[in-house]
Structures are given as C-alpha cells and as structure tokens.
C-alpha cells in the first residue's frame, strides 16, 4: 500500500503513519508531472484548508496517474471537512478515475485565526483519534466502498464561501517576525511551497499555501499572525520536526 500525504503541522502525516504502508510526501513529487504510481492500494491524505484541499494536493490529483485495485481519500480537519472530499472526488472523476473510499478524521485546528489551541488541547481526548483511526484501518482492510460523498447543502455552501476567503498572494503581509528570530532557517525547511528565504532577514514570497508550518515549527516562536488567537503552537505528538522537514524541504 502506498499513501501520499500533505502536511503542515503533522496531522495528516500522523494519520498516514497510523494507516501504514509506503508513505510519499506530495511536495516531494509535485514536480513529477504525470507521475504514474502502481500498488494494490493507494491512498491520499490531506488537510482541509478553508473548506477544500490545499492547492498542491489539487494539482497532484490533476496530474498523477494511479494504477491500483483500491483507491482511498482521507481528509483531516479541525472544523469539519465541509464538502472537501466531494470536491476532490469530482476532480478525480474529471481525470478518469475515482476514489473507492472517502473518510475524514477530526483533528486539532491549527489555523490560529479561528480558534484557540489551548482550548482545544483542554477538551480533546486522544481516544477519539485512536477510535477513528481503528475504524478507518478496518474499512481499508475490508476494502469498504463509499465513493459518493454526499455533502449537505450547508457543507457545500461552507466550502464554496470559505474557499474564496484566502488570497495567498497577500499572505506575506499577514506574518510578523519579532526580535526573537535568530535566522536559523527552520521556516524555510518546513515550508512545502518554497515560499520563504532567510538571509539577513526572513522574506515571504507569494507562493504561500496556508499551511502555517513556518509559524508552528519556529524554534523561537518568532513568527506570528496579526490576528492569531493562540500563544501556543502545534505539532502532532506522533510526528517529529525532522519528519516535517523531510516531507516539505525541497
């Protein structure tokens, strides 16, 4: 089994690790246009950003070729998947294939602007994650079929409107660097979009994908958003900084 994943703070990577198999980071293969991948089962795990999948994941779905008996799609989200799974499924169908099984995993919301990490940590029992992963593992083993993601009218509306909010070309203006920054360069290594340059200062380009890996993994906690709602930072406890760097450093 092969699992392709995209991760900013480790949520989707933690899910991919629990499912098992050969794991491949989407940023590491995104420039392999038309990549052909063959296995008995292939999965794609992605985080939901603003009601849909990250742009890099959508590009991967559009360009990759899958040859397998079983294809599955898993979304991780803090506020619910909205209609993201159905959106990706429709995109796959346009490219001539479809996912056999779709599911989502509720995770800690790392957006920093919608909710507080401290509040979520206080109320989020780990057992919920363990139970959901166990169900997904069994469904994949049993080759469960549920290819038609029927999102509610509300979920479709949420995805439609949320996906129009972020304007990533303007995101460099949202980040603030304080005097704790020691120019270590960690932010450049965890950025999957090759969007950050560190010389005499930290410079953000216009290729941001909104993952906020730079903010959450800064060793000095020197990167902030203007309207962040939390002083805490997040990396999934089952994922190391080295794994994030290996996944995203291109």
pLDDT digits (tens, 9 = 90+) for 80-118: 888 899 989 999 999 999 999 999 999 999 888 778 888
Which CATH number characterizes residue 116's domain? Answer: 3.40.50.360
Indicate the number of domains in the chain.
Answer: 2
Give tens-digit pLDDT for 118-175. 888 887 666 688 999 999 999 999 999 998 776 665 666 666 565 666 677 777 788 9
Provide mean pLDDT across the span 24-49. Answer: 93
Structure tokens at 79: 């506020």
The C-alpha atoms of residue 107 and residue 120 are separated, in whole angstroms, by 10
Give the chain's mean pLDDT.
90
The C-alpha atoms of residue 203 and residue 191 are separated, in whole angstroms, by 12
Which CATH number characterizes residue 176's domain? Answer: 3.30.70.20
- Residue that finishes a domain, picked among 99, 134, 162: 162
Do residues 58 and 110 both lie within one domain?
Answer: yes
The model's pTM: 0.92
Q: What is the pLDDT of residue 142?
A: 97
* Start-to-end Cα distance in the chain: 24
Range of the domain at 237: 168-248
Do residues 229 and 106 both lie within one domain?
Answer: no
The C-alpha atoms of residue 25 and residue 176 are separated, in whole angstroms, by 28
- Residue that finishes a domain, picked among 102, 132, 162: 162
Residues in Cβ contact with 60 at an 8 Å cutoff, skipping those fewer than 6 apart: 4, 6, 26, 29, 30, 44
Do residues 151 and 177 both lie within one domain?
Answer: no
The DSSP symbol for 7 reads: -
Do residues 152 and 176 both lie within one domain?
Answer: no
Do residues 181 and 222 both lie within one domain?
Answer: yes
- Residue 56: count of CB within 10 angstroms of its CB: 18
Give tens-digit pLDDT for 165-221. 667 777 778 899 999 999 999 999 999 999 999 999 999 999 999 999 999 999 999
Q: What is the pLDDT of residue 168?
A: 73
- Residue that finishes a domain, picked among 162, 180, 212: 162
Cα angle for residues 20, 48, 113 (degrees, 5° grid): 125
Reported in sequence order, the residue ranges of the chain that DSSP labels E, i.e. its strands, are 2-5, 22-25, 36-38, 41-47, 65-67, 70-77, 101-106, 175-177, 196-198, 202-204, 223-225
Query: How many residues can be counted in the chain?
Result: 250
Do residues 38 and 152 both lie within one domain?
Answer: yes
Do residues 229 and 132 both lie within one domain?
Answer: no
Could you give the strand order of the β-sheet that contains 101-106, starting from the edge strand earlier in sequence? 22-25, 2-5, 41-47, 70-77, 101-106
Do residues 54 and 144 both lie within one domain?
Answer: yes
The C-alpha atoms of residue 49 and residue 206 are separated, in whole angstroms, by 17
């Amino acid at each position: 089994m092969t699992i392709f994943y995209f991760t900013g703070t480790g949520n989707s990577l933690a899910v991919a690790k629990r499912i098992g198999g050969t794991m491949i980071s989407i940023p590491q293969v995104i420039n392999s246009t038309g990549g052909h991948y063959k296995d008995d089962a292939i999965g794609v795990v992605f985080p939901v950003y603003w009601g849909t999948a990250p742009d890099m994941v959508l590009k991967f779905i559009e360009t990759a070729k899958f040859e397998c008996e079983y294809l599955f799609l898993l979304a991780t989200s803090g506020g619910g998947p909205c209609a993201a799974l159905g959106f990706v499924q429709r995109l796959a169908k346009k490219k001539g294939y479809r996912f056999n099984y779709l599911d989502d995993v509720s995770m800690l919301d790392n957006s920093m602007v919608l909710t507080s990490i401290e509040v979520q940590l206080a109320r989020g029992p780990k057992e919920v994650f363990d139970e959901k992963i166990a169900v997904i593992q069994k469904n994949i083993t049993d080759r469960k079929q549920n290819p038609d993601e029927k999102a509610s009218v509300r979920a479709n509306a949420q995805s439609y409107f949320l996906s129009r909010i972020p304007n990533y070309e303007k995101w460099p203006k949202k980040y603030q660097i304080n005097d704790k920054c020691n120019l270590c360069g960690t932010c450049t290594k965890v950025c999957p979009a090759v969007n950050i340059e560190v010389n005499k200062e930290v410079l953000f380009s216009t290729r941001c994908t909104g993952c906020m890996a730079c903010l959450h993994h800064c060793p000095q906690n020197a990167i902030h958003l203007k309207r962040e709602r939390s002083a805490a930072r997040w990396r999934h406890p089952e994922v190391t900084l080295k794994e994030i760097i290996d996944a995203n450093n291109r």
